[in-house]
Amino acid sequence: MLGNYRENLNQKQEFEENVYDSIREGMIIIDKQGTIQLINKAIADLLAIDCEKYINKTIFALPAFDELRQDFWEIIEEKGSYIKNDFSLQNNESTILLNLKIYPLKEKDIKTCGAVILVEDVTKKIEMEKQLLLNDKLTSIGRFTAGIAHEINNPLGTIANFVETILIDEKDETKRNYLESIRSETNRISSIVKGLLNFSRQSKAEFGIVDLREVVELSLKICQYQKEYEQYEIIREFKEELPYVTGNFNQLQQVFINMILNAFESMETGDTLTISMQNSPDSETVNVSFIDTGSGIESQYLQKIFDPFFTTKEERQGVGLGLSISYGIIKNHGGDIKVESTLNKGSIFTVSLPIYL
C-alpha cells in the first residue's frame, strides 16, 4: 500500500516536471524570501545555466536578476502582477532581450507565499519588427528620393545639351578641356541620379554574372581620387579562386564605394583598410568584408546604422543615406550586410551575395 502511494507520488512528480519542461517560456518559482524552488528547462537554455545548482538559492543569484531586487519585493508585497518588457541580458558574448511576467503565489488565506516568474526570449521577434520598420523607412525614402532625382534630371539635361552644342563650334583647346570636364561631371551626376531612381523604384535592375574582384578594383580606382586615399594602407585579401555572383555591376559598385568611403571617414593617417573576399562555409555566398582600423561605432548605434538619415557625425558631409541605400541594394540582390564594431578599434562591414548557379 505504502509502495503504491510512493510510486503514484513519484509518477505525479515526474508528470509535473515534464509539464514544466514542456512549457516554451522559461519558468521560475520562488518562495516569499526569494529562494528558488523550481526552474524549468527553458530557463536553463535561455541563461545557459545548470538549473540544479540554483535550486534553494536566491533568485538574485541568477544572471542579471539582481537589478530587479526592488521590483520583486514591490510585486510580492504590494502590486500583484508585473510585466517588464525588453529586459536586456548578456549571454555568451551576445545580448538577448527578454520579457518578464511576474505573478504572486497565494495561499488559501490569500497571503502571498511566493511568485511565479515567466521569462520569454523576444530577441528574434524584436529583430523582425525592426526589420519591418527599416523596410518601411526604405520605402518612404524611396518615394522621397524619386522626387529629388526627377528635379535634378531636368536642369542637368539642359546643362548637358548646352555643353554638347558649344563643343561643336569651340576651337580653343583650353575651353574644350573645360567643357569636356563639365560633360564628364554631368554624366557622373546623371549616373548617380539613375542609381537613386533605381533605388526608389524598388525594382530589380538588369542582373548578370558579376566578378566581385572587378567590382572591388574599380571601386578602389574611383576612391583613389579622394584626397585622403594616400594616407591609408589598403590591403587586399582575395582568395585565388572565387565563384561569380548574380547581380548588377553598377549597383554593387555603388555599394562597395559606399563601404570604402564610410571606412575612410572613420580612419586617420596610417590606418588600414583590409578588403577580404572568400566563400562562405556553406559555399552558397561570397563574403566581401571591409575591415578598418578606424574609430569604430558605439554599440548603441549599431542597430540604427542602416536607418535612412542616420549618421553619427554632425560635421560629416551628406545626410546619412549611403548605408541605407547600400542595404536596400544588397537586399534586392538576395544578400545581406552585417556590421561588427569596437569603439576606438575599428569596424567590419561584411556584404554577402549569393553565388551564380
Q: Which residue has the cell 509539464?
A: 19
Q: Which CATH architecture has domain 205-357?
A: 2-Layer Sandwich (3.30)
- The model's pLDDT over 127-171, given as tens digits with 9 standing for 90+, comes to 777 767 766 766 676 677 777 877 888 898 899 899 999 999 888
Secondary structure E strands in 223-335:
233-238, 245-247, 272-279, 285-292
CATH of 123-203, one of 4.10.240, 3.40.1350, 1.10.3470, 1.10.287: 1.10.287
Instruction: Determine contact, residues 172/117, Cβ cutoff 8 Å.
Output: no
d(CA 90, CA 128): 20
Helix (H) or strand (E) holding 41: helix 41-47
User: What is the rounded CA–CA span in Å between residue 66 and residue 68?
Assistant: 5
Residues 278-317 as b/e (b if ≥16 CB within 10 A, e otherwise) read: eeeeeeebbbbbbbbbbbbbeeeeeeebbbbebbeeeeee
SS3 222: helix
Distance CA 79, CA 88 (A): 23
Domain boundaries, the chain: 2-121, 123-203, 205-357
Q: What is the pLDDT along the chain (357 residues), one digit of tens a residue?
A: 545 545 554 555 565 565 666 667 888 888 888 888 888 888 888 777 787 888 898 888 887 677 666 666 676 677 777 777 777 776 665 677 888 888 888 877 677 788 888 888 887 787 777 767 766 766 676 677 777 877 888 898 899 899 999 999 888 999 989 998 898 888 878 877 776 666 555 555 678 999 999 999 988 887 876 767 788 999 999 977 889 999 998 889 889 988 998 899 889 999 999 999 999 888 789 999 999 999 998 887 887 787 766 666 544 444 456 787 888 889 889 999 999 999 889 999 999 999 987
Closest CA to 262 of 335, 193, 341: 341
The secondary element (H helix, E strand) that includes residue 316 is none
* DSSP code per residue over 120-140: EE-HHHHHHHHHHHHHHHHHH
Report pLDDT digits (tens) over 209-242: 999 999 999 888 878 767 677 889 999 999 778 8
Q: What top-level class would CATH report for the domain 2-121?
A: alpha beta
Phi, psi of 8 (to 5 degrees): -65, -40
Beta strands in 180-269, from DSSP E residues, in sequence order = 208-210, 233-238, 245-247
* Residue 117 grid cell: 516568474
CA dist 115 and 68 (Å) reads 14
* Number of CB atoms found within 10 A of residue 87's CB: 17
